[in-house]
Amino acid sequence: MAAAAAAVVTNGSSGGDSSKSAFAEIYSKLKEEMLEDPAFEFTDESLQWIDRMLDYNVLGGKCNRGISVIDSYKMLKGTDVLSKEETFLACTLGWCIEWLQAYFLVLDDIMDNSQTRRGQPCWFRVPQVGLIAVNDGIILRNHISRILQRHFKGKPYYVDLIDLFNEVEFKTASGQLLDLITTHEGEKDLMKYNLTVHRRIVQYKTAYYSFYLPVACALLLSGENLDNFGDVKNILVEMGTYFQVQDDYLDCYGDPEFIGKIGTDIEDYKCSWLVVQALERADENQKHILFENYGKPDPECVAKVKDLYKELNLEAVFHEYERESYNKLIADIEAQPNKAVQNVLKSFLHKIYKRQK
């Protein structure tokens, strides 16, 4: 299985090659520990189920979040080479984030009634899985606690790690709730959509676990107190917001061949940055076009929405937003007193600035 993990991580990530290969090697060890956990008497059938479930859901992504823990830790320590123990602990925390991501996605796909994830059927769509996937999600979340207990209990920052994962999970689940009740429940109502709602959903649903969590893990590994890094948290959450706005933009304007998926935010009635911007700028006639056509699968309706976006010049609005966001983020980063922290933040920003997918 190490080979499969290595193939997935090496093909997908933007981290350095040494970080990627080190990261891939740790997965099979952690999985083996979960399959040999003495707290439960596994049957052969349950072992096979969990083995397959982990490979299907934890592997398959780009692992950017997980590898960011290692890369950030190296920068904070000011070295390109970590000891074997340091590498193992950083990789383990990185995989805990990948486990968390898998847990969110398994349940998210059920709530959204999605068909595919990462180019294959959603886990709950796999024959014989169905709603057993709900319990699998719970198992994935519990694995994180088991991994942290096994490898970090006794470390001075163990309680801080537990608190960090609990808090980020709570923020993400609350963001998901806001997204669901705003976009899915009851009558479709575009009047609910505005920049404040969009920003709150994005910050809580995506930014904390995707941007703040990997750096916070690296800071704890480095012996730092997270209470001293409030500004860093705010910068990373801003970066995560910018990242999601890019995603919303690429859903409409990105090349499907290049980004690997066909955007469906318009059809799916998503509270996208583009529709929020359109609502802010549209006159009454243009709003009428939006209300009549947004959230409908008919290609003609989608085309009318895209024509309206063009009329409102939303591509230019996005590029101006991108430029302003980048300049503000750079200024905030350079105001940080710690040069190593600056390097970590800049590395995150440069990975995503003007990305095309």
Q: What is the CATH number of the domain that holds 308?
A: 1.10.600.10
Q: Are residues 13 and 127 in the same domain?
A: yes
* pLDDT tens column, 7-42: 445 444 444 567 788 888 899 999 999 999 999 999
Q: Are residues 200 and 290 in the same domain?
A: yes
For the segment 236-247, the average pLDDT, to the nearest whole number, is 95
Structural domain containing residue 50: 1-154
Q: Are residues 129 and 219 in the same domain?
A: no
Average pLDDT, the chain: 91
Please state the length of the chain: 357
Q: CB under 8 Å to 266, separation ≥6 — which residues? A: 252, 272, 275, 294, 295, 301, 302, 305, 306
Q: Are residues 269 and 290 in the same domain?
A: yes
Q: Are residues 166 and 304 in the same domain?
A: yes
For the segment 82-98, the average pLDDT, to the nearest whole number, is 96
Q: Are residues 201 and 104 in the same domain?
A: no
Strand partners, 116: 121
Confidence of residue 182 (pLDDT cuts 50, 70, 90): confident
Q: What is the pTM of this model?
A: 0.90
Q: With the CA atoms of 277, 283, 288 and 289 taken in that order, what torsion angle do they form, in degrees rounded to the nearest 10?
A: -60
Which ranges of 153-212 would DSSP assign to H, the alpha helix? Answer: 158-183, 195-202
Lowest-confidence segment of 1-5, 55-59, 82-86, 351-355 by average pLDDT = 1-5
Q: Are residues 163 and 304 in the same domain?
A: yes
Q: Are residues 135 and 176 in the same domain?
A: no
Q: Are residues 134 and 210 in the same domain?
A: no
Name the domain boundary from 105, 133, 154: 154
Q: Are residues 291 and 273 in the same domain?
A: yes
Who wins on pLDDT, 258 or 9? 258
Domain count, the chain: 2
Task: Reply yes or no on whether the pLDDT at 294 is more than 60.
Answer: yes
Q: Are residues 56 and 82 in the same domain?
A: yes
Q: Are residues 195 and 282 in the same domain?
A: yes
Residue 188 CA to chain centroid, in angstroms? 26
With a pLDDT cut of 90, the percent of the chain lying above it is 76
Name the domain boundary from 131, 154, 177: 154
* pLDDT tens column, 95-114: 999 999 999 999 999 988 88
**CA dist 169 → 77, 146, 188 (Å):** 27, 16, 28
Kindly state the tokens that stand for 268.
Answer: 């799916």
CB atoms within 10 A of CB 261: 13
For the segment 329-343, the average pLDDT, to the nearest whole number, is 96
